[in-house]
Chain A
Amino acid sequence: MTSAPLEPVANLAGYLLPEADLAKIAALLEGVREDIQKLRELDLHDDVEPILTFRVEPWT
């Protein structure tokens, strides 16, 4: 069972997540937080659009 304050977080997964599983998830996310933070802090030009369908074309 998940305690009431954490229930909305657990529900985000779309399936039952016991509190013990949430603790493991939190530890894993903490492990990658620094690298994701670096990504967030990157100042990319406003006109850089995301690649939504990745394909590689020959360079001409």
Chain B
Amino acid sequence: MPWHSLAEAAEAVRTRVVSPVELTRLCLERIEPVDRAIHAFASVDAARALKEAQTAEYEIQGSRYRGPLHGIPIALKDNYDTRGIPTRNGSQVFASRIPDQDATTWERLTNAGAILLGKTTMSEAAWGVDFPPVRNPWDVRRNPGVSSGGSAAAVAAGLCFMAMGSDTGGSIRIPAGLCGVVGLKATYGRVSRAGILPHTWSLDHAGPLTRSVEDAALTLRVIAGHDPRDQTSADVPVADYLSGLKKGLHGVRIGVPREHFWERIQEGVQPVVRQALDDLAAAGAQVEQVSIPHMTTALGAILVTEMASVTAWHDKYLKQPERRAKYTPEVRALLDAGKFIFATDFLKAQRLRRVLVEEVRAAFASVEVLATPTLPLCAWKVSESHVEIAGQAEHVLHACWRFTYPWNLTGLPALSLPCGFAEGLPVGLQLVGRPFDEAMILRVGHAYEAATRWHERRPPEPVVGAR
């Protein structure tokens, strides 16, 4: 049962094959031993989870079934505000922070009947090089990816049926790719960020990590939609993401960017993703090349945007000596460095974003979806800060977001799903859609899953104490 998809678990709850209390107990009993090796959870509140599950059980027994999330145990990244429950943003600076209001996404998930198991581990303030202790379930000597690594590891290890993450440059899709699960970043403005601790205002997205594309669609249906609490929330009608899921790939045109996404990529990763493109074509899609010329020069744009923005948000804490001292030296230095980003560079970055948006729009003129690798590398060892890619040593953080950040700069919806393995480690395929056309990338992702079944592979049981 812990390996069931959210959709399968939901059906079992609806038909009363399993009760929410039984399901929650199963997760809690699995978390206890497995999380000793994975460290996916920053906190677990078993008593609260069981109480919520009991309530859900009474409601369902009383024929008050709320829908597929009702009675389903889930987790939230430690930057989602939860009323009365510590929300620490992965940082000692916020160690005693207890919000008095829920994040809108959690409020919507609560209203849908979801059960909160706990908060997942994240890198400090979703920033920096000081990795948290969370490990990759496929190999506990390796990193699960930043910054929603705890959420991805929890889903990959069968500790919950869905976990929410946040994504500023790839922080949902990177850990999804490295842990062999599905990660969805919807269009900028599609999912409310109200009550999620900000990182970079113009790049932040919220979204789910799941074990199947259908589960991501089920979750998006609950959390999507306009929210007056979020100034960037888009008032655009929400589609029924499930009704089109099984339409298949016939007539769907998929573009593969010529530039950027196939340069400096680990030897074992490229053939796996190329095979995925062949599989999409074999399943009925028309795959063709497209061009986005400025993609190769966009790294500077996200660097200056993110460095300046995250520092601007943390400025009030950096000024307080007692709070400042609670950042790790690495993150404090990164935040300080943001003070020295020039406004001229920031403005150039925002000009480049306009050019990129127009070029991407032109690339979409002949296709409905773009497909790329999610990452140029597989999960690295926790002891490694650099990896060799195409004969060149590169910092892992520099490498890992190379294929994901363009879709934060442009705000387009992007989905990562498992597409195979390189040297025994998961590889992710990234699908990118037109604005607010999450339905299309979910449809293509679901068809790919049906054709390949990579999403059904499970990691070995983790070994506590492996180094």
Contacts and interface: CB of A to CB of B under 8 A. Distances in A.
Interface of A: 12-17, 21, 24-25, 28-29, 31-32, 35-40, 42, 44, 48-52, 54-59
Contact of A14 (B187, B319, B349, B351): B319
A24 to B, nearest CB: 4
B297 A38 contact: yes
Nearest to A27: B333
| Chain B binding surface, main DSSP class | helix
Contact of A48 (B189, B334, B351): B351
Interface residues of B, number: 48
A37 B333 contact: no
Contact of B351 (A17, A28, A32, A49): A49
A42 B299 CA distance: 12
Interface in B324-356: 324, 329, 332-334, 336-337, 339-340, 345, 347-355
Given A21-B333, A39-B349, A44-B351, 19 more contacts: A13-B339, A14-B319, A15-B319, A24-B329, A24-B333, A25-B333, A25-B337, A37-B300, A39-B301, A42-B294, A42-B348, A50-B354, A52-B350, A54-B202, A54-B232, A54-B350, A55-B232, A56-B234, A59-B435
Contact of B300 (A25, A36, A48, A57): A36
Contacts of A54: 188, 201-202, 232, 350, 353, 411
A59 B364 contact: yes
A57 B437 CA distance: 11
Contacts of B329: 24
Given A13-B336, A15-B319, A35 B300 contact: yes
A12 B340 contact: yes
Contact of B354 (A12, A35, A49): A49
23 contacts: A12-B339, A13-B340, A14-B319, A21-B332, A25-B333, A25-B340, A28-B337, A32-B300, A35-B299, A35-B303, A36-B300, A36-B304, A38-B297, A39-B297, A49-B354, A50-B347, A50-B348, A51-B350, A54-B232, A54-B353, A55-B188, A56-B189, A58-B236
Contacts of A25: 333, 336-337, 339-340
Contacts of A50: 347-351, 353-354
B30 to A, nearest CB: 39
B318 interface: yes
A42 B301 CA distance: 11
Contacts of B234: 55-57
Contacts of A17: 336
Nearest to B436: A58
A37 B349 CA distance: 11
Interface centre among B201, B332, B351, by most chain A C-beta atoms within 10 angstroms, is: B351
